[in-house]
Amino acid sequence: MTERRVRVYDGKAALANAVAARFIKRLVETLAEQDRAHVVLTGGTMGEAVLAAVRESARRDTVDWSRVTFWWGDERYLPAGDPDRNETQSRHALLDALELSPAQVKAFPALGEHADIEAAAEAYAAELAAAAPAGATHPRFDITFLGVGGDGHIASLFPDHEAIRDTQHVVLAETNSPKPPPARLTLTLPVINSSERVWLVLAGADKAGALGLALADANPHDVPVAGVSGRARTVFFVDAEAAAEVPENLLTRERFWTAAHEIPAN
């Protein structure tokens, strides 16, 4: 079973800075062991804050970014450059500062680039397959970042939607999202869980219920975040507000760490 940890920080700034430091450290270690790294990004306030903290870090350039390929876990099906697209937010927060080649930034298709959203999903699945090892349908992801909604959704996998049950596809089109816009593209849960490490970053009291249910192993069909399980490690990076309502019996030493226990990211 994957090793699962919860790391708690005093506020959103401390949370973003800590995750950024660990991300840089992990990439340096990964690239010392293999030629390339594949990273899956997320959107949202904390996803953008983590990337901005990486951009501002004094240790940013210890990473050989030319050997990192970026993907996304989901995307709003909007025109290219729309400020609500996860890709746009990620570019502004970090990617544009890294001087990456176009081949390193694997964005989901934008509205108008394909005949329809189903064709867009197929196109992204084909792009993932083209970068995959022989016999695989997608690359070996080293780190997948996820945000978590107050309802427990991850990527664009929502409670009680068919997409959270899908085990056959790599990419799906969601056309009835409960959050606007209704049209989105998303990786499926098995693809997310194939990642070596899954890092979930969440902050705020409105996320406390979802975190508690995830740690209590709720039904993933009802609470999608409860189904997340990276191959080597699953880490919940949270602020104190998000952790405030987690039942005490789940805050054991085996499954709960505070910032005081953090390994220095040197």
pLDDT digits (tens, 9 = 90+) for 162-197: 999 999 999 999 999 999 999 999 999 999 999 999
Predicted pLDDT of residue 4: 82
- Stated pTM of the model: 0.93
Q: What is the mean pLDDT of the chain?
A: 92
Q: Please compute Rg for the chain using Cα positions.
A: 17
SS3 110: coil
pLDDT digits (tens, 9 = 90+) for 133-173: 999 999 999 999 999 999 999 999 999 999 999 999 999 99
Predicted pLDDT of residue 111: 98
Predicted pLDDT of residue 250: 58
Residue segments in the chain with a per-residue pLDDT below the cut of 70: 1, 247-266
Predicted pLDDT of residue 246: 72
Domains, the chain, with CATH or none: 7-138+148-236 (3.40.50.1360)
Q: Which tokens sit at 229?
A: 């399980």
